[in-house]
Structure 1
Amino acid sequence: MTHHQDDPNHEDEDRTTPSAREGKDADVVHLDVARAGRQPQRPDADRQDSDDRTADGPVLGGEAVRVDRPGPTGGDWRTALEAKARSRQPIVPLWLRSRTEAVETLKWVALHYLHVAGYQVVRLPLYGGRLTARAPRGLLRLVGGVVKWTFDLEGEPVRLAAVQKADPEVYLKLSRQRDSRVRLRVLISSAALVTLLVVCLMMAEQATTAQWAALAVAVAALGILGKPADRPLIDRAVVPSTVEKLTSDIVVRALTVLGIGGINQAMAKNPKDAIRFVAPITRDGPGWRADIDLPYGVTVADVMDKRDRMASALRRPLGCIWPEGDSSVHEGRLILWVGDKDLSKTVVKSPLVKAASHDVFKGIPFGCDPRGRAIVVPVIEQNILIGSQPGQGKTASVRVLASAVALDPSAELWIHELKGTGDLDPHEQNCHRYVSGIEDEAIAYAADSLALLRKEVMRRAASLKALPADLCPDKKVTRQIADRRSLGLHPLVAVFDECQNLFAHPDFGAKAGEDAEFVIKLGRALGVVLVLATQRPDKDSLPTGISANVTIRFCLRVAGQLENDMILGTSAYKNGIRATVFQPKVDAGIGYLLGATPMPKVVRTAYLDTPATQRIAKRAHALRASAGLLGGHALGETPEHVTPTFDLLADILAVVPPSEAKVWNEVIVDRLAELRPEIYGAWAGLEGGAKTAQLTTALKPYGIKTIQVWGTSEGGGKGANRIGVARDDITTAITHRDRGQAS
């Protein structure tokens, strides 16, 4: 035997042909073990030269190393099983896991079949008439069929064919067969006819009711027998939907026409597996649901950005197409839901309309998602921010929240409607503090409320800390603690509608923003909840300290990415959560809800019109009055003032003597800060043009315009031309104001 130990070119030949060996050199080698041992791991593999590679991979010790190395043949059975079953289907259907959804589903099924039964019962006289009209035709069909069967007329064409072929043998055979059949069938028909006559005679002797019943059965049987083929007897109680069934081919077609490069490239390379369906397409509520794994590198946000194109590809209204992601799996898992009905045409009825009371600790029924599932917004330990363009349903959403809080007599309700339209006036009778208006007095009242809330948070923190551990182990407000009214730890919900008018106010905005941020950060666990609604989400109207710390966000239609992220949070637009997709006016009341559910959801809020809100408010008022829990504004008590009252014009005259006809804005601001630091101190802290602009903005409501003023700074120096105010303009404005108040 020739050995090739020194010749590497014969290595594989030596290993793969062990049968060629002889004697003690021959042995049996397990191929998998041998292959695994051919390329041992090297601890210094990372230090190999990058150029030391072959076409098959890196080279170690003169041998190519495979990146994906084969594993042992007898692997762990659990690993193999987990690899095959990464996602188990739920044993209990999803709709049965939620009590609310199960009740709604069963209710829908019961109402559906009750409707069908009622529809058919009402039309029984119509069906009876149809049967009576068709009975003669049925009788003719019956008689004709009996005669045809008795005399074997169905075989007549065959016998005639035998005659035409002049085949006597076949004809005689068929005739003898026909004669035997007719003799037997005549006997059977005669017996049946005699039996029928006997039954008729017997029925003639029965009561009239039995006769009519027998006649009805006979007419019904003959009517069914005489039914035309193209005219059914019973009308449909429910017209089947004309919506096309969602199939995998339709979904793939829709995804491929979106113009997404990653999908098109994947479809070109591997059209069968580029788009993978991880579960069968099924009915999910009033629509179809498809769970899809998008091609590698394609995210759900890419698809959501093309929602209008997808609606066109699926030939459905835009309000029926609702793609969403499941980031708990991965960013490419798409859940496509295609509804039967446009969400914008769906009216959501609020359960609060008929509710006798409500418990805010159980959340607030806010609306429903596109699949018709009820959405409940938690309130306790939360703060809520609502934003949209004007006319998109923002105040209506606030009305739902306020109505639920009003129906809980243990909850204290403060409402600040800073638009002045009176949209929330029905709940004035239930509020501890209430204001409606856009004037400075209303803004000052709202600023007072935030200052009071700040004090209340500090008081509650001390009270909660003093509670024994057995009563309050988690140091949070619970229903048991809230019911102990003497502790003063009941839920307190403060609503600020059009809050931009408060936070952007030149006099009260800065302090109000600080107080609101303090309450949002610390009041959550103490039962103090802020509900803020705005139609102008920018850094001046909505301080970043507030928007960054709110836990629940609801964004209806907004104009662009900036407004979207101001409400829904940074990178929301980038992640596909885009309230810009909603159509103006058409999708009023529809928005993205973030923080109330595990995943962001599109929600249509329940609609409460003014009469419905008034009925809820009256019911809540009676409930609170019977429990003795009305207070503050609801009882006509004088509100507590925290913000100092001041007269800006009078203060300017106090710091600008008659000897100074014209003064720079920045000089006036510094003097005002010395006069009233608690009011004007923030103004003086501004720098450059911001300080000048602050006074200019504050004087606009009085009709005072700034002018160019030549002067020098307080400490002297070089003169300059800067923006300032004429003292005579201030005195003139005060005169006009006083005359108007006197008249």
Structure 2
Amino acid sequence: MRSPFAKSTGGELVPFPTRPPAEVEDSDNLPAVIDAEVMPAAIPAPVATVEPIDLVVRRAADYRPVLPGWAKDVAELRRALRWLGRFAGHRAAFHGVRVPLYLGRTLAYAPRGALRLMVVLNRWAFDVEAAELRWAAVAAKDHKSYMNLSRQRNERVKRRLTVAMVVAVLALVVLAVASVVLSGALLVATLLSTVAGLGYAGRPRGRGFLSSAADRRGPVRLTQDIVLRAFAAAGLCKADDPIAFATPCHRDGDGWRVILDLPYGTPAKKAVLKRAEIASGLDVLAGQVFIAAESGATGSARRIELWVAEQDPTTVPAGPSPLLTASGVNFWQAWPFGVDERGREIKLCLLWLSMVVGGLPRMGKSFVARLAVLAAALDPDVRLLIFDLKGSPDWRPFRHVAHELHQGEDVDPDTGVDPVGRLLEVARELRAEVNRRNRVLRTLPASDVPEGKLTERLCRARHMGMPLVLLFLDEVHRAFTHREFGAELAEELSDLVRVGPSVGVMVISATQKPGSIGAGKVNDAWNTYRDNHSCRFGLRVGSYTVSEMILGQGAYGEGLDCSTLPEAAKGVGIVRGTGDVAVPAGTVRTYLVDGKGAEVICQRGRQLREQAGTLSGMAAGEQPAEVESGPRRSLLADLIEVIGADEQAHSDVLCSRLAESSPEVYGGWRPEQLAAALKPHSVATRQVWAKGTDGAPANRRGVARADLYAAGRPSGGADS
């Protein structure tokens, strides 16, 4: 039998068997096939599932909360009550001091109000409204219509005058009774109420009776009509294709919030990019409007959240940092970084991250970056390596806690250390440390490294020697443009910022030149280094293109533009790429720690390190591991020295010779490390015919002596 869904070929129609499907499932009970036609088994009919048609299954995201957010959050509730008290108190005080003015207006407007009342009663009683119809009939010489209208007018006036006389008599009776029955106070109150009503009726047309207690620019409160007007002005909806309100407009923090759905086919991104137009439609500043697309596992691509602040939140300082009073910080967890536009605290965790901070000069880059390093200073198991290439006094307090602290670009006359040269040595040491940590982690049992990564227990185990390391570089672009060490630093730092965070070696970079810093390989290396930072924080910049260089590609399309931040917004920026769903990309007002506060925090961090036995390096009075007073080593010079008279040599042979001549520098080098170190000098390894480590000639990758001479002469100078 063919399937009932197969196309008919004109064969015989065979009905379905009447036996239950269970009876034909056992092939042993089927009759033998006698003729040549093969009859397939019957296909069981699908079992229909009956569901109640009136049962509506809704997603959890569709349910609105029983209580609004401000009622469940104590901080939000306090802000709402403060706003309500401030609003009511201001209105009461404003109008209270103007009571004498309102009394004067009442007395002045009351006669005009009484006259207006008499005019209205007169027009009603004598049917003045229909006078135009009677005059029209006279002008048209329509005698019949005029007589009908006149008759109706006379009857209407008679009835209305009767009603007016009855009301007047009743009013006089009530007034006479009230003067006898009511006390003097009630009588005065009644008369005052009457005068007040007449005064209100006599107010000038188009003018309020009470003075305005607030500037009428911008909405006093957000309403659906105002939102509709704004989105229509921005071209996001039409009268026949409006927006839909998922929630009513309601108070939220120091502003108003509403969730709405754009018309079908209009993505949320379009509204995000029209923030300025929406702000104009709301009659507020663009800095007061914040639009976010809905995110999560479920939702709608056209749903947005609109929050309108009472004032531009970037002009309101976040206040002093909680780090000033904190006894310590666990850098493995999030620590207080600042507050968002609604005043909600933002906590940042830099574990497994590298961070870049960029912006115009004097916008607070050093203060923002210093906040992160201060948090690390309060964890005794974080080793701090600070290179302030600007040489400002902002980082002097860290002399109490930093394993190494170097400032400026020039050689320190007290220690003889070249900060940029030492940075190159530190970068090499950290790359070697990253490799060592990865080797150690590979040898540990899975129970110690459940996710294959460094854990807090291993980090705080002193015998493992794997504390968290935080390398901070202020004005890092100076290292890349350094004439002597720039090329090799670019290679070392670019690799370190990629692989270091995975084993607890984190890098924080601050720069006022996030864009191009040169040409050719230097600029390419800088762009690679900058783009490899996962967490970005941008303060005010000059254009949206520079903003994208700091925040990363696609930031402008998400409505993130540091060039829109006001000039007065010191320490206010946009964060992106934190890797934490609790810290979405957006505006952050960072907490403030001044110079005195930084000194206090660093002193407390030193005490924590002394108690834990982790005070080390320059903070403990030691000098850097290598302080060379003479000329620095040059890789090219060392290679030319060990290659000797050979025209060319294999890479593994050269690594072996380098390790023998300078084991403290080249110990453990492999051919791929040599190739990477030679890349900044434009020397490439290639296939060469030379003797190997076993003495037998072979064709393997190596270096030609002519290439080394072409790249640099064997002087005692440093790498260029």
What is the TM-score with the length of structure 1 in the denominator? 0.58
What is the CA–CA distance in structure 1 between the aligned matches of 2:607 and 2:558, rounded to whole Å? Answer: 47
SS at match of 1:416: strand
Are 1:281 and 2:259 counterparts? no
What are the residue-to-residue correspondences of 1:526-545 with 2, within 5 Å? 526-534=503-511, 535-538=513-516, 540=522, 543-545=526-528
CA shift for structure 1 position 387: 2.0
Pair 1:615–1:239, CA change in 2 (3 A): farther
What's 2:364 paired with? 393
What's 1:460 paired with? 437
Are 1:553 and 2:536 counterparts? yes
Pair 1:110–1:472, CA change in 2 (3 A): farther
Are 1:384 and 2:384 counterparts? no
Relative contact order higher in (CA < 8 Å, ≥ 6 apart)? 2
Match of 1:484 among 455, 461, 469: 461
What is the CA–CA distance in structure 2 between the aligned matches of 1:560 and 1:593, rounded to whole Å? Answer: 18
SS at match of 1:583: coil
What's 1:606 paired with? 591
What is the CA–CA distance in structure 2 between the aligned matches of 1:305 and 1:511, rounded to whole Å? Answer: 41
Pair 1:362–1:342, CA change in 2 (3 A): same
Per-residue CA distance 1:355-411 (angstroms, 9 max, x = gap): 122211221211111111111111222222222232332212101101111112222
Are 1:341 and 2:326 counterparts? no
CA shift for structure 1 position 340: 1.0
What's 2:564 paired with? 581
What is the CA–CA distance in structure 1 between the aligned matches of 2:373 and 2:460, rounded to whole Å? Answer: 20
Match of 1:359 among 330, 333, 340: 330
What's 2:549 paired with? 566
SS at match of 2:57: helix
What's 1:514 paired with? 491
CA shift for structure 1 position 520: 3.3
SS at match of 2:306: strand
Which deviates more, 550-559 or 537-546?
A: 537-546
What is the CA–CA distance in structure 2 between the aligned matches of 1:355 and 1:438, rounded to whole Å? Answer: 34
Match of 2:576 among 580, 593, 604: 593
Contact 2:377 2:384 in 1 (8 A): yes
What is the CA–CA distance in structure 2 between the aligned matches of 1:114 and 1:625, rounded to whole Å? Answer: 49
CA shift for structure 1 position 315: 2.0
SS at match of 1:570: coil
Contact 1:457 1:522 in 2 (8 A): yes
Per-residue CA distance 1:514-561 (angstroms, 9 max, x = gap): 333443343334222111222324484564544444332212223345
What's 1:249 paired with? 225
What are the residue-to-residue correspondences of 1:631-670 with 2, within 5 Å? 631-641=616-626, 646=631
Are 1:427 and 2:398 counterparts? yes
What's 2:605 paired with? 620
SS at match of 2:260: strand
Contact 1:344 1:588 in 2 (8 A): no
Contact 2:386 2:404 in 1 (8 A): yes
Are 1:306 and 2:268 counterparts? no
What are the residue-to-residue correspondences of 1:52-451 with 2, within 5 Å? 76-77=51-52, 81-82=56-57, 87-91=62-66, 93-94=68-69, 102-105=73-76, 108=79, 244=219, 245-258=221-234, 263=236, 267=238, 271-328=239-296, 329-349=299-319, 350-439=321-410, 441-451=418-428
What is the CA–CA distance in structure 2 between the aligned matches of 1:686 and 1:378, rounded to whole Å? Answer: 35
Q: Which amino acid aligns with 1:343?
A: P
Per-residue CA distance 1:26-58 (angstroms, 9 max, x = gap): xxxxxxxxxxxxxxx9999xxxxxxxxxxxxxx
What is the CA–CA distance in structure 1 between the aligned matches of 2:6 and 2:71, rounded to whole Å? Answer: 55
What is the CA–CA distance in structure 1 between the aligned matches of 2:241 and 2:345, rounded to whole Å? Answer: 36
Any unmatched runs of 5+ in structure 2?
A: 8-47, 97-168, 184-195, 200-212, 412-417, 641-657, 667-673, 684-704
What is the TM-score with the length of structure 2 in the denominator? 0.60
CA shift for structure 1 position 272: 4.7
What is the CA–CA distance in structure 2 between the aligned matches of 1:332 and 1:116, rounded to whole Å? Answer: 34
Contact 1:243 1:340 in 2 (8 A): no
Pair 1:390–1:301, CA change in 2 (3 A): farther
What is the CA–CA distance in structure 2 between the aligned matches of 1:79 and 1:459, rounded to whole Å? Answer: 64
CA shift for structure 1 position 632: 0.3
SS at match of 2:369: helix
CA shift for structure 1 position 458: 2.2
Contact 1:381 1:529 in 2 (8 A): yes
CA shift for structure 1 position 316: 1.7
What is the CA–CA distance in structure 2 between the aligned matches of 1:96 and 1:443, rounded to whole Å? Answer: 55
Pair 1:683–1:622, CA change in 2 (3 A): closer
What is the CA–CA distance in structure 2 between the aligned matches of 1:241 and 1:406, rounded to whole Å? Answer: 49
Percent of matched pairs sharing the same residue? 28
Contact 1:377 1:596 in 2 (8 A): no
What is the CA–CA distance in structure 2 between the aligned matches of 1:536 and 1:682, rounded to whole Å? Answer: 29
What is the CA–CA distance in structure 2 between the aligned matches of 1:353 and 1:416, rounded to whole Å? Answer: 24
Per-residue CA distance 1:439-470 (angstroms, 9 max, x = gap): 37221122222222112222322333444444
SS at match of 2:394: coil
CA shift for structure 1 position 643: 9.8
Contact 2:374 2:601 in 1 (8 A): yes
Q: Which amino acid aligns with 2:441?
A: L
What is the CA–CA distance in structure 2 between the aligned matches of 1:241 and 1:405, rounded to whole Å? Answer: 48
Contact 1:297 1:332 in 2 (8 A): yes
What's 1:37 paired with? none
CA shift for structure 1 position 505: 2.9
Any unmatched runs of 5+ in structure 1?
A: 1-40, 45-72, 128-173, 193-227, 231-237, 656-673, 692-713, 716-723, 734-743
CA shift for structure 1 position 572: 2.5
Pair 1:383–1:330, CA change in 2 (3 A): farther
Pair 1:105–1:74, CA change in 2 (3 A): same
Pair 1:376–1:81, CA change in 2 (3 A): same
Contact 1:499 1:533 in 2 (8 A): yes
Contact 2:380 2:608 in 1 (8 A): yes
What is the CA–CA distance in structure 1 between the aligned matches of 2:358 and 2:561, rounded to whole Å? Answer: 13
Q: Which amino acid aligns with 1:456?
A: E
What is the CA–CA distance in structure 2 between the aligned matches of 1:314 and 1:602, rounded to whole Å? Answer: 20
Contact 1:452 1:642 in 2 (8 A): no
CA shift for structure 1 position 576: 3.0
What is the CA–CA distance in structure 1 between the aligned matches of 2:288 and 2:350, rounded to whole Å? Answer: 30
Pair 1:573–1:361, CA change in 2 (3 A): same
What's 1:34 paired with? none
CA shift for structure 1 position 288: 0.9
